[in-house]
Structures are given as C-alpha cells and as structure tokens.
Amino acid sequence: MIVYPNAQINIGLNVTERRPDGYHNLETIFYPIELLDVIEITDSQQFSIKVTGTVLDNTPEDNLVTKAYRLLEREYDLPPVCIHLHKHIPTGAGLGGGSSDAAFTLKALNTKYQLGLDIVSLEKYASQLGADCAFFINNQPVLATGIGNIFSPISLSLKGKTIILIKPDVFVSTADAYRHVIPKMPEVSLAELVKKPLKDWKDCVENDFERSVFLKYPEIAAIKDLLYDIGAEYASMSGSGSAVYGIFDSPIENIDEIFAGYFVRQRKL
C-alpha cells in the first residue's frame, strides 16, 4: 500500500497565552498543500523502516511513522511490516511533514488491515503522537486553537491560487521561537480576518513568531520581502519557520532562478 502524506501551511499564528504546564495556547489556520512525502507499507517477516530522500537526524524508533505503527500494534496485534518513507517535505520548516507522515501511516494501516477505525477514532490516536497530527486525518482547512490540537471547521478556499514555498538552509528552534514571543489575545479572530480579500491579509493576518525570528535570521525576512516584490498577494512564514510561502494569483516564471540556492516549490492550490 502506498500513501502520499501532504504538508500544511499556517495562515496566521497568534500565540494567545502561556499555560500553567509550560505550553502555549495559540490560534492559527491549518491549510493543506500539495507537497508530498511517500510511504509504502508491505508485509514482512519483521518490522523495519527505511527512510530515503531528506536525511533525518532521529533514530528509526523515534520516527513518528514507527510510533504510529507501534501505537496500533499494541491494541490490534498488527503483523510486522516493512515501511519505506521517502521524505520530500522539508524538515524543521513549519510544514507539519512528520505529523502528516504519522497520520497517514495510521490511515494506511487502518485500511490495509481493516481495523474499522472511523475518523474520530483515528484522530484520537493521532493526537497521542503530536498536537497537530490529528489535523491530517480529515485533512481539511481548520481553525486550530489550544496547543494546536482543537479544530474548528472553517470556510476558506484558496483554490485556483498559486503557492510558492521557499525553504532556506536555516534551522529555527521552536522552543527558542516561543521563548521570545509575548503572548496576547488578538482583537479580532483569524476566522474573521481571513474573510477579508486576500490582498488585505498583508495588513492584518500576522504570524507572531516572525518578529523575533526575523531579527535572528534576516535571511528569512528577506525571502518574505522578495515574495512581495515579485507580486505575492500574501506572504508569511509558516509556523515557527523556517519555510516562507507566498500566495499568487498565477504562476511565476523563472522562480527557481529568482530563489537560486533555496528549496523552491510552486504549486496550484
């Protein structure tokens, strides 16, 4: 069985308060995009996982794909499998690649071995693997609150637009990004702000991480500025970075030349 986990972008991100447990509550919109990893699951004599593509720095047992398999194996006595994960979604980019891999593994195992798990059950399992993992079960745009684990449906479609995604060779520590944010409740919810025309988002739909991340990594700020310079209707860092995206009315020619040296992908939404 082969599945294709997709990435997501954050449209706006407000860090609203620090919780007593040390985590932060936030408000953001998760929006799926067609930037894909590949997972193949085959029957085997013993469990194994092979990772190709982007090099990962974790051990096989620490990989979220392995953790997803182990989670279901404990309750459903799954047979051993061989999992081949081909990584294409950049890591450390704020694009949810690892979370998507985990969620799609759960869905694939559920289908392959006819476990009979419905959407709600799959989301419960996914939430045990990471705050945003459950998003990729239903894989539709949502307003996410709490620690990014409480989802509310949102009527938002960017269909027909073009997204350009740029990832510099920069690692942004999520913990460090949170440490430099001053939490505050927004005056207007993102759910209301994104009802405005796309061209107006530039002035009101913000990512709270950008201020401190841009100060430390001006290269990321420069990418956002250049996306606007070449005609983006809206541009933002995704999550705590380091990927930056621009939303355009139509494709841009020579985008690889404009952003030479970076990971660059142009896709229709």
Give the pLDDT score at 57: 76
Task: State how far the Cα of 62 lies from the Cα of 70, in Å rounded to an integer.
Answer: 11
Highest CATH level, class, for 162-268: alpha beta
Where in the chain are the domains? 2-153, 162-268
Q: Per-residue pLDDT tens for 90-126?
A: 988 999 999 999 999 999 999 999 999 999 999 999 9
Burial class (CB in 10 A: 0-12, 13-18, 19+), 184: exposed
* pLDDT surpasses 80 at 202: yes
Give the pLDDT score at 198: 97
Burial class (CB in 10 A: 0-12, 13-18, 19+), 143: buried
Give the pLDDT score at 175: 84
Give the pLDDT score at 54: 82
Task: State how far the Cα of 223 lies from the Cα of 236, in Å rounded to an integer.
Answer: 10
* pLDDT surpasses 90 at 73: yes
| pLDDT (mean) for 153-165 | 96
Q: Which residue has the tokens 């983006």?
A: 232
Q: 52: how many CB neighbours lie within 10 A of its CB?
A: 11
Task: State how far the Cα of 182 lies from the Cα of 169, in Å rounded to an integer.
Answer: 27
Q: Per-residue pLDDT tens for 14-53?
A: 999 999 988 899 999 999 999 999 999 999 999 999 999 9
Task: State how far the Cα of 139 lies from the Cα of 146, in Å rounded to an integer.
Answer: 18
Q: How confident is the model at residue 212 (pLDDT cuts 50, 70, 90)?
A: very high
Q: How confident is the model at residue 246 (pLDDT cuts 50, 70, 90)?
A: very high
Q: Which residue has the tokens 């020619």?
A: 253
Full-model pTM: 0.95
Give the pLDDT score at 214: 95
What whole-number percentage of the chain has pLDDT above 90? 87
Give the pLDDT score at 178: 87
Indicate the CATH number for domain 2-153.
Answer: 3.30.230.10
Q: How confident is the model at residue 13 (pLDDT cuts 50, 70, 90)?
A: very high
Give the pLDDT score at 177: 85
Task: State how far the Cα of 174 lies from the Cα of 209, in Å rounded to an integer.
Answer: 9
Q: How confident is the model at residue 55 (pLDDT cuts 50, 70, 90)?
A: confident
* pLDDT surpasses 90 at 179: no
Task: State how far the Cα of 217 lies from the Cα of 226, in Å rounded to an integer.
Answer: 15
